[in-house]
Amino acid sequence: MAVRRDKDGRWRYRIVVKLPDGQRERISGTPTLNTKVECERAEREHAYRTLHPAPASEEKKEVPTFSKFVNEQWLPTYPASVGNRPTSIREKKIHVRRHLVPALGRLRLDEIRGHVVDRFFADLRKPRSIGKDGTRAHALSDKSIKNIRATLRRILASAFEWELIDRIPNLPKVKVTDKGWDFLSREEVAKLVAVTRDPEERALLTFALDTGARAGEQLALEWGDIDWHNNLVVFRRSSTRGEVGPTKSGRERKVPMTERLVEALRRMKHLRGKLVFCRVDGKPLTLWQLHERLWGACRRAGLREIRWHDLRHTFASQLVTAGVPLRQVQDWLGHSTITMTMRYSHLAPGQGAELIRALEDPSAVAKAWQRT
């Protein structure tokens, strides 16, 4: 192996291959993914192609246009093969229809590289007119651009895996700044619950505040998901725009119920159907109806207007503030990695102030753990 890392941080390979006729040929290159392992793999494959060239009569596979590949091969196959949720499939279709095909549809897959890619992402950042009058301009957020990038990256990766292109082009990285979020204090939670108008509204808000459920998980909750014997809620599914599927992580999770939540659920228990939170006719609630009830309660309590998702932030923030370990909060929230849960770490008691004393007193760490 003759791989090395240049001053610019890029892995490259360069070796001399001895051909069957005794001649020597120097080959070199860079891997698609900038890692040592990928560089060594690319070197082996390049050497193999050099020693075993394809027959001259072998016809080169025709590379389809981006539009043809996506609409005729990728969309009908890939999302279903990996079990994408309905919302994920819908998002990919929107990316394809609104952004990717209009800009890249006529190009062959192997033409999507270099300046074509850079120009595409530069155009995504330009403000776009909204409405027929064209007077209002709207620019895509960094998060939206990052999601579009992920869809394009996956499409090109599939084309590479299906041997339609020989490499995956580099795509510009998109950094997304973590937006601020709001949460209620314990006093504000008490005010919010106190102004609820009926047992159902109290149970609706208490459930979100005491389980950290995502809106879709709460909308899809069934009475069979409540373990009354062990005082647990089991999240098995989620609803988005009326479509019910698995939870965001694809896994079930259990969250213990507080005494006030158990009491609130028992007071509002109904016989309208299997859904816990539903309309009078038993049909599912919508996300808009959740916000209507929350905002009404906020007005009556004299609180600022917050999003429904901020009730989930409230659940996490109050747990961390009380000293509950982040790993436990992660488990109850259903975060796939601790990275998402770390956004609440600054609320933890002490914020490490006691532990930093270990620089002066090594026993400070042990003392701090004893107090927790």
Q: Which structural domains are found in the chain, ordered by start?
A: 3-51 (no CATH), 66-161 (1.10.150), 186-337 (1.10.443.10)
pLDDT per position as a tens digit, 357-370: 667 777 765 665 55
Question: Residue 176: how many CB atoms within 10 A of its CB?
Answer: 12
**Which residue has tokens 């961390």?**
320
The pLDDT of residue 103: 95
Please provide the average confidence, as pLDDT, over all residues in the chain. Answer: 88
Amino acid sitting at position 126: K
Residue in 346, 184, 208 with CA at minimum distance from that of residue 277: 208
What's the rounded mean pLDDT across residues 248-276?
94
Report the relative pairing of strands 238-240 and 243-245 from DSSP bridges.
antiparallel
Residue in 237, 259, 117 with CA at minimum distance from that of residue 174: 117
Using CB atoms within 10 Å of the CB of residue 21, give its burial: 0 to 12 exposed, 13 to 18 middle, 19+ buried. Answer: exposed
Q: Is the sign of the CA dihedral 281, 282, 286, 291 positive or negative?
A: positive
Is 332 or 140 the better-scoring residue by pLDDT?
Answer: 332
Range in 135-139, 215-219, 339-343 the model is least confident about: 135-139
Amino acid sitting at position 100: L
Q: 240 by DSSP, 3-state: which?
A: strand
| CA gap 277, 207 in Å, rounded | 10
Q: Is the sign of the CA dihedral 327, 328, 329, 332 positive or negative?
A: positive
Residue in 347, 344, 322 with CA at minimum distance from that of residue 333: 344
pLDDT over 90 at 345, yes or no: no
| CA gap 235, 251 in Å, rounded | 8
- Band of residue 17 on the pLDDT scale cut at 50, 70, 90: confident
pLDDT over 90 at 252, yes or no: yes
Task: Report how far Cα 272 is from the mean position of its chain's Cα atoms.
Answer: 34
Question: Residue 177: how many CB atoms within 10 A of its CB?
Answer: 8
Is 118 or 84 the better-scoring residue by pLDDT?
Answer: 118
Question: Residue 102: how many CB atoms within 10 A of its CB?
Answer: 12
Q: What are the residues facing 155 on neighbouring strands?
A: none
Rounded to the nearest 5°, which phi and psi values hold at 45? -65, -40
Decide if 130 contacts 84 (C-beta within 8 A). no
Decide if 372 contacts 359 (C-beta within 8 A). no
DSSP structure string for 113-169 = STHHHHHHHHHHTS-EEESSS--EEE---HHHHHHHHHHHHHHHHHHHHTTSSSSPP
Decide if 331 contacts 315 (C-beta within 8 A). no
pLDDT per position as a tens digit, 102-157: 999 999 999 998 889 999 999 999 887 655 555 556 788 999 999 999 999 999 99
pLDDT per position as a tens digit, 24-55: 888 888 887 788 888 888 888 888 888 887 66
The pLDDT of residue 353: 62
Helices 259-268 and 199-211, axial angle in degrees (round to 10): 150
Rounded to the nearest 5°, which phi and psi values hold at 17? -105, 130
| CA gap 263, 176 in Å, rounded | 41
DSSP structure string for 259-323 = HHHHHHHHHH--SS-SBSSB-TTSPBP-HHHHHHHHHHHHHHHTPPP--THHHHHHHHHHHHHTT
Decide if 173 contacts 261 (C-beta within 8 A). no
Is 17 or 130 the better-scoring residue by pLDDT?
Answer: 17
Residue in 55, 151, 70 with CA at minimum distance from that of residue 107: 70
Decide if 244 contacts 237 (C-beta within 8 A). yes
